[in-house]
Amino acid sequence: MSASRPKGCEQVAKPPPKKRQLKRPSQTVQSGETLTAVVDTSCGRFDIRLDTAESPRTVNSFVYLSRKGFYDGTIFHRIVPHFIVQGGDPLQNGQGGPGYYVTEPPPPNATYRMGTVAMAKTPVEPAGRSGSQFFVVNAADAGLPAKYAILGRVSSGFDVVKRIGSLGDPASGDTGTPLATVVIRRITVREQ
């Protein structure tokens, strides 16, 4: 175990990239339905309470991808200390996605505070556009504009998110080069 690896994180090899092309799913998630995503990683587990009321299309896509095993064996490819941890890219480099996108702009007063989980997008894409990549805010306030579709909030295991967040290279700035590989082993969605 390297000196930079926090207790609770296993040493793992970086999985190979996978090219995935899926069709956009039908809408099966109901607005207001109570769903939790359980994210099992090589640094532990955290849960996300999915926001089906405000973001039913975004949640529907995430649930579809999770149930297809799309996230299994992907990594947190971008870790910016005291800002965000980002994963969900099958190419493992921040350039990949599922082969489709959904657009669901967040409310104009959306904030991205500690524990918020939102979908990543490029600066040129419209507000609320998302594929498969998501990020978890690990700062008091990320200071981001209301342009990122909100998936939900971490409901338990935030210590795991902090552990993952400690593995970003501070010298890499906003690119968020990880100091060690953190693998998403599986995301399971539970209905309550």
> Parallel, antiparallel, or unpaired: how do β-strands 116-119 and 134-137 relate?
antiparallel
What lies within 8 Å, CB to CB, of 171 at 6+ separation is none
pLDDT range class, residue 91, cuts 50, 70, 90: very high
Q: What pLDDT is attached to residue 6?
A: 81
More confident: 4 or 19: 19
Section 57-72 average pLDDT: 98
pLDDT range class, residue 1, cuts 50, 70, 90: very low
Q: What pLDDT is attached to residue 35?
A: 98
Residue 3 has pLDDT above 80, yes or no: no
Section 125-132 average pLDDT: 97
Q: How far apart (Å, rounded) are the C-alpha atoms in residues 26 and 146?
A: 26
This prediction's pTM = 0.95
Q: What pLDDT is attached to residue 4?
A: 61
Q: What pLDDT is attached to residue 192?
A: 82
Section 102-121 average pLDDT: 97
Residue 121 has pLDDT above 90, yes or no: yes
Residue 2 has pLDDT above 50, yes or no: no
Q: Give 34-50 pLDDT, tens digit per residue.
A: 999 999 999 999 999 99
Rounded mean pLDDT of the chain?
95
- Domain 35-191 in CATH 3.40.630.10? The answer is no
Give yes or no for a contact between 130 and 101, defined as CB atoms under 8 angstroms apart: yes
Task: Go through 78-112 and write b for each residue having 16 or more CB atoms within 10 A of its CB, e for each that does not.
Answer: bbbbebbbbbbbbebebebbbeebbebebeeebeb
